Amino acid sequence: MDLGLRGKVAVVTGGSRGIGLATAELLAKEGANVVIAARRPKHLKTAAESIGVDPVEADVTRLEDLDRLAAHVKDKYGGADILVNNAGTGTYKPFLEVTDEDLLHGMAINFFAQFRLTQRIVPSMIERGGGVVINVSGRTAVRTAYPPGSTCTGPAKAAEVRFSADLAEELKPHNIRVVCIVPGVVMTPDRFGKWEREAHGRELEVQEASQVRDKLEAEKLPSGAQWGTPEQIANVIAFSASDCAGYLSGESILVDGSPGAYSYVRALYEEKQKQS
Ligand SMILES: NC(=O)c1ccc[n+]([C@@H]2O[C@H](COP(=O)([O-])OP(=O)(O)OC[C@H]3O[C@@H](n4cnc5c(N)ncnc54)[C@H](OP(=O)(O)O)[C@@H]3O)[C@@H](O)[C@H]2O)c1
């Protein structure tokens, strides 16, 4: 399907790895001019060289970086048609162990970053006659995780769902659609590394991590359960960003073909309990 994205200007935060990278790659393949933003220069450079996008080093929790990113998009491209607020993260932690720093960071990297960057990009969309904002949330926004431990992340992700719905109504007169994508468990190297660090309390070597994943996948996932791939989420994002989804706005789309895949996180913690 031709998504009609040729010549559009798209900004993807967290576009150097995982779901953001797959999204940036697909939008670029569809002919969009894509700006990606993330922190680590090494991965930005690799992404820029391999998929032909414009990298900007930026931390979405820093206001000055968001200002610089929005100014870059305005100066170089005259503004954006598509904004994919994808950078974000989830932390599993029992409620009584959540620190104030965790709480503030959870809101800052998830909800605040989406709100703040959208405020900085939307004026150029209005000038250009319209656009699309895609906010990437997560399953913990709408479902309790197992093992429970998402009291910090879940509400930050839920705020993104509400933000998207309210913003969609407010921006309708400007021909701007807002869609929230809510992924289930998606296999990205950085995300799984983080879960494994949290469960084991240390960094796993690449080979060790791969063995753990294979073992838990074979032994613990219910029959038929699968992790999603970044590309499967990117397909839904790109479709939602295109005119093919012109009658879609304000809604959250749960892209979670296999809720049983959460057993992986549970299994990680069970392994740890056995070892301790
Ligand atoms: N994977 C899942 O199972 C899953 C499930 C539900 C929801 N989600 C959501 O989907 C989105 C993408 O997740 P993912 O799994 O693809 O993540 P990932 O594999 O961990 O990649 C995260 C990307 O965001 C960038 N990033 C992280 N912190 C940043 C910051 N402060 N400022 C700018 N960029 C930052 C990373 O690059 P740098 O580290 O170099 O900055 C990287 O490019 C997130 O909002 C996440 O919460 C993921």
- From 53, 89, 135, the mutation candidate for ligand 1 (largest count of ligand atoms within 8 A of CB) is 89
Residue 196 lies in a domain: no
Number of domains in the chain: 1
Cα–Cα distance measured from residue 152 to residue 137, given in angstroms and rounded to the nearest whole number: 14
Which domain, by its residues, includes 39? 9-187+227-259
Residue 24 lies in a domain: yes
Is 144 or 147 the better-scoring residue by pLDDT?
A: 144
Q: In what order do the strands lie in the sheet with 252-255?
A: 54-57, 33-38, 9-13, 82-85, 131-136, 176-183, 252-255
Calculate the alpha carbon distances from 269 to 30, 203, 259, 265 in Å: 41, 15, 18, 7
Locate tokens 């969309």: which residue?
125
pTM of the model: 0.95
Residue 4 lies in a domain: no
**CA 266 to ligand 1 centroid distance, Å:** 21
Ligand 1 binding pocket (C-beta < 6 A) is: 13-14, 16-20, 37-40, 43, 58-61, 86-90, 109, 136, 138-139, 183, 185-186, 188, 190-191, 230
Cα–Cα distance measured from residue 160 to residue 166, given in angstroms and rounded to the nearest whole number: 10
pLDDT tops 80 at residue 263: no
Is 145 or 184 the better-scoring residue by pLDDT?
A: 184
Residue 211 lies in a domain: no
pLDDT at residue number 215:
84
Atom of ligand 1 nearest to the CA of 140: 6
Residue 274 lies in a domain: no
**Structure confidence by residue, pLDDT tens digits, 150-209:** 999 999 999 999 999 999 999 999 999 999 999 998 989 888 888 888 788 888 888 888
60: domain CATH number is: 3.40.50.720
Residue 152 lies in a domain: yes
Calculate the alpha carbon distances from 139 to 39, 136, 181 in Å: 25, 10, 9
Residue 102, number of CB atoms within 10 A of its CB = 15
Residue 213 lies in a domain: no
pLDDT at residue number 222:
80
Residue 171 lies in a domain: yes
